[in-house]
Amino acid sequence: MKHSKDPFEAAIEEEQEESPPESPVGGGGGGDGSEEGRAEIDQTAEEDERPVDVRRPAKKSKTSVVVTESKNKDEDEEEEEENMEVELTKYPTSADPAKMAKMQTILSQFTEDQMSRYESFRRSALQRPQMKKLLIGVTGSQKIGMPMIIVVCGIAKMFVGELVETARVVMAERKESGPIRPCHIRESYRRLKLEGKVPKRSVPRLFR
Amino acid sequence: MSGNTPATAASSSKSKAAGTSQPQEKRKTLFQKELQHMMYGFGDEQNPLPETVALVEDIVVEYVTDLTHKAQEIGSKRGRLLVDDFLYLIRKDLPKLNRCRELLAMQEELKQARKAFDVDEKELVD
């Protein structure tokens, strides 16, 4: 799922074609998929649409795109903007239409539960100001470039994913259910270390 | 927590809220809220256990710290710390590498788009 084109984007792209970008819930609910699922995405994914507008100036009139953008971008700091934009995947025109169609069919069959979980998966991100603070503290340098922060946030998010998924595997092995407990995370962390996915310190950590 | 002076009352109430038993410990969480949503997205329950979230946060901070230290070691050879140092470190982990390339490409596109937007705005004004 992480490699394929984003179905949110696919869904949003479809709706973009149907309605002007300024409409608050751009074509909300339009599409073949389950109405409920789509409506949920549309309303909550509204803020996703605005940055998507930026990427499709050819298809819409440039001025209208510009106007929408100016309302949203000028007030936001660059960091906040990019928070929204990181959720978006590859440029739609470079997306493989077959893959997109596949994702569409999968998405349309999601239950509410699955859809809400998927939404959390897509929208959650480590906050860039916090990450910047952390990186400045670790490196000691005063300036950290935005691309670096973005990359590290992405890497860390995927690492969290590996941790949680491995923890679930551990729970399945132990035949336990319910919320993930710290012991599962610790076992999952140990396994990731064995796989070599965790950077090893050349000097062991003292006085944690 | 009897006998606390007003100065420490705030910190002890903070630590109480965070769930630690020692009044001196202050858990400064960096990513707590977002981590809860993220863990739900990756497979945990809607409300993950706070101790689990705290542990994951610690692990992530340690991961980022170690990764950054290693990147700095690599970067120091050529002078500055660059994004490429991070990319080099995760070169073996293909999902992460591809995701980073995606993110960087997106950021470039958005930069271009914003540039185009600024140019358009100027044209509108003229």
Please judge whether A152 and B52 are an interchain contact, meaning their C-beta atoms are less than 8 angstroms apart: no
Q: What is the DSSP letter of A203?
A: S
Q: Could you tell me which of A28, A196, A156, A9 has the C-alpha nearest to residue B38?
A: A156
Quickly name the fold that domain A145-199 has. Histone, subunit A (1.10.20)
First-residue to last-residue Cα distance in chain A:
36
Domain ranges for chain A, please list them: 145-199
Residue B88 burial (CB count, 10 A):
15
Read off the pLDDT of each residue in B93-122 and give the average, rounded to a whole number.
89
| Cβ within 8 Å of A, B 3-62 | 30-31, 34-35, 37-45, 47-49, 51-52, 55-56, 59-62
Of B40, B86, B96, the CB nearest to A117: B40
Contact (CB, 8 A) for A66 and B120? yes
Q: Could you tell me which of B86, B108, B110 has the C-alpha nearest to residue A159?
A: B86
Task: Give the residue on B whose Cα is nearest the Cα of A73.
Answer: B114
Of A90, A119, A147, the CB nearest to B107: A147
Phi first, then psi: give them for residue B37, nearest 5 degrees: -65, -40
Q: Could you report the predicted ipTM of this complex, rounded to two decimals?
A: 0.77
The structure tokens listed for A207 are: 């006085």
Please judge whether A130 and B121 are an interchain contact, meaning their C-beta atoms are less than 8 angstroms apart: no
Residue recorded with tokens 């339009």: A30
| Cβ within 8 Å of A, B 52-111 | 52, 55-56, 59-70, 72, 81-83, 86-87, 89-90, 92-93, 95-96, 98-100, 102-107, 109-110
Burial of A172 (0-12, 13-18, 19+ CB in 10 A): exposed
Give the predicted TM-score (pTM) of the model. 0.65
Residue recorded with tokens 């998010």: A157
DSSP helix/strand/coil, A4:
coil
Amino acid at position B27, single letter: R
Reported as a single tens digit per residue, the pLDDT across B12-21 is 444 444 445 5
Q: Rounded to whole angstroms, how far apart are CA atoms B34 and A120?
A: 10
Reported as a single tens digit per residue, the pLDDT across B57-78 is 999 999 999 999 999 988 888 8
A123 close contact with B: CB closer than 8 A: yes
Amino acid at position A60, single letter: K
Task: Give the residue on A whose Cα is nearest the Cα of B59.
Answer: A189
Q: Provide block-wise average pLDDT over 10 residues at a time, chain A (208 residues).
A: 50 46 40 40 40 39 40 43 44 65 92 93 92 92 91 94 94 93 94 90 74
